[in-house]
A = this chain, B = another copy of it.
Amino acid sequence: MTSKSETTSGAVSRRRLIKGAGLAAAGSALAAPAIAQGNPEVKWRMPMFVPKTVESVMDSANDIVRRVSDLTDGKFQIQQFGAGEIVPGGPAVLNAAEEGTVECGFTLSYYSFGKDPAYAFGSTLPFGPTLRGHYAWLFKNGGMELLNEFYESKGTHAIPCGNSTMQMGGFYRKEIKTLEDLKGLKMRIPGLGGLVMSKLGVIPQQISPGDIYSSLERGTIDAAEWAAPYDDFKFGFHKVAPFYYAPGWWEPQATIWLHVNKKKWDELPKNYKAVLEAACIATCTTHNAKSDVLNSGGLRSLIAAGTQLRYFSKEIMDASYDAAFKTFDEMGTKSPAWAKIYPAWKKHIDENELYYRVGDNTYENYIYGRRVKG
């Protein structure tokens, strides 16, 4: 792949096209005097884990790119590439950022779960906190620093930049009422969620998004999880698997990060690091907001189209919860990074959920019940 990085320093207007090395070779041109002359010109490529048609996720990508440009008077430009354009989706996006074939990648690190299970922490963990609890850990209780130790050991410095929020539990061709109904069920569910499900007898299937519909239709698989209602509706899975379950306990939030190649990050001027951080962290708030404005409408569309909304039974939730925490303990014996990060993550949820329960949860239970009543 040919690098499109281009760096121009201040008023001197030097232009360089550097093959392969990106900003690296031009780094020396960005020292203190260059800053005094004005912001340097930087052009980065940002492959994404989704095609550009996934509107709910593009809201985050578009806002980051716009903010970075606005903050630098157009001097720092990031170009988005949908999955498959310059890099395939899935783990390839993070791989490319780690290896430096691109300057940065916009992705969920859990796609690299197979390489090291610790990649799951930054994205989501089954039965972990919902959005606010996860952000509390990341931003104000040491999570971001701890995860960046891990990411940097692999080749990127990363910043949270969006969240697809609480996921649904997927579409099923038949109702799932008891643990017995899960035995032998062929379900499209990747990563850690699939691993936990396999402890309950489910046979996890790795199927790329483009093949889920036809696999469900033909009955090659019995069930598939994808995302939250807005995106789920657009894929049309309800037409071939009418039972739609809540909640998606394996993904109670889904944090997207901007993974910046470590070398490129280190070469950025200090104020451009601040620009990336502010643009990404601001987008954490606004992207969640977008997801939240889309999903209720998506759920209504699904129900109007005949989708049968169901909730996992207590028996299934309890067995899944136990299987999840058992799996977490096993991961610690396989991954030193997991063994280091998990106790901090667990301590955070043990210590910081009390007030959500007493405050927000008590109040939300009341208002949601009351709104239905009118």
Is A18 close to B, CB under 8 A?
no
In the bound complex, do residue A299 and residue B139 qualify as a contact, i.e. CB atoms below 8 Å apart?
Answer: no
Among A230-265, those with CB < 8 Å from B are 246-249, 252
Among A94-150, those with CB < 8 Å from B are 127, 130-133, 135-136, 138-141
Residues of B within 8 A of A203 (CB): none
Q: Out of B132, B246, B362, which one reaches A362, CB within 8 Å?
A: B246
In the bound complex, do residue A292 and residue B354 qualify as a contact, i.e. CB atoms below 8 Å apart?
Answer: no
In the bound complex, do residue A368 and residue B352 qualify as a contact, i.e. CB atoms below 8 Å apart?
Answer: no
Residues of B within 8 A of A281 (CB): 282, 285-286
Q: How far is the CA of A350 from the CA of B372 in the complex (A)?
A: 10
Is A54 close to B, CB under 8 A?
no
In the bound complex, do residue A296 and residue B362 qualify as a contact, i.e. CB atoms below 8 Å apart?
Answer: no
Residues of B within 8 A of A70 (CB): 270-271, 274, 278
In the bound complex, do residue A72 and residue B271 qualify as a contact, i.e. CB atoms below 8 Å apart?
Answer: yes
Residues of B within 8 A of A295 (CB): 355, 359
Interface size on A, residues (CB 8 A): 83
Name A132's closest neighbour in chain B (CB-CB): B292
The count of identical subunits is 2
Residues of B within 8 A of A277 (CB): 67, 282
Is A337 close to B, CB under 8 A?
no
In the bound complex, do residue A246 and residue B321 qualify as a contact, i.e. CB atoms below 8 Å apart?
Answer: no
A258 to chain B, nearest CB (A): 13
In the bound complex, do residue A165 and residue B285 qualify as a contact, i.e. CB atoms below 8 Å apart?
Answer: no
Of A59, A135, A289, the most chain B CB neighbours within 10 A belong to: A289
Q: A285-B135, A293-B141, A358-B309 are in contact. Are A247 and B363 (CB under 8 A)?
A: yes
Q: Out of B38, B321, B353, which one reaches A368, CB within 8 Å?
A: B353
In the bound complex, do residue B282 and residue A364 qualify as a contact, i.e. CB atoms below 8 Å apart?
Answer: no
Name A303's closest neighbour in chain B (CB-CB): B354
Among A281-303, those with CB < 8 Å from B are 281-282, 284-286, 288-290, 292-293, 295-300
In the bound complex, do residue B292 and residue A356 qualify as a contact, i.e. CB atoms below 8 Å apart?
Answer: yes
Name A350's closest neighbour in chain B (CB-CB): B371
Is A304 close to B, CB under 8 A?
no
Is A168 close to B, CB under 8 A?
yes
In the bound complex, do residue B292 and residue A352 qualify as a contact, i.e. CB atoms below 8 Å apart?
Answer: yes
Q: Out of B282, B357, B368, B370, which one reaches A356, CB within 8 Å?
A: B368
Known contacts A141-B289, A165-B359, A166-B359; 13 additional CB pairs below 8 A are: A11-B36, A70-B270, A70-B278, A71-B271, A73-B271, A130-B364, A132-B132, A135-B292, A140-B290, A247-B360, A292-B352, A299-B355, A353-B371
Closest 8 CB pairs between A and B? A70-B274, A247-B363, A281-B282, A166-B359, A136-B292, A295-B355, A139-B289, A296-B354
A–B complex contacts, Cβ < 8 Å, 29 sampled: A36-B38, A37-B38, A70-B270, A70-B271, A73-B271, A127-B367, A130-B364, A132-B132, A136-B288, A139-B286, A139-B290, A140-B290, A166-B355, A228-B359, A246-B358, A278-B279, A281-B282, A285-B285, A292-B352, A296-B356, A297-B352, A299-B355, A299-B358, A300-B354, A311-B362, A318-B370, A353-B368, A361-B368, A364-B364
Q: Chain A interface (Cβ within 8 Å of chain B)?
A: 11, 35-38, 59, 67, 70-73, 127, 130-133, 135-136, 138-141, 165-168, 228-229, 246-249, 252, 270-271, 274-275, 277-279, 281-282, 284-286, 288-290, 292-293, 295-300, 309, 311, 317-318, 321, 349-368, 370-371
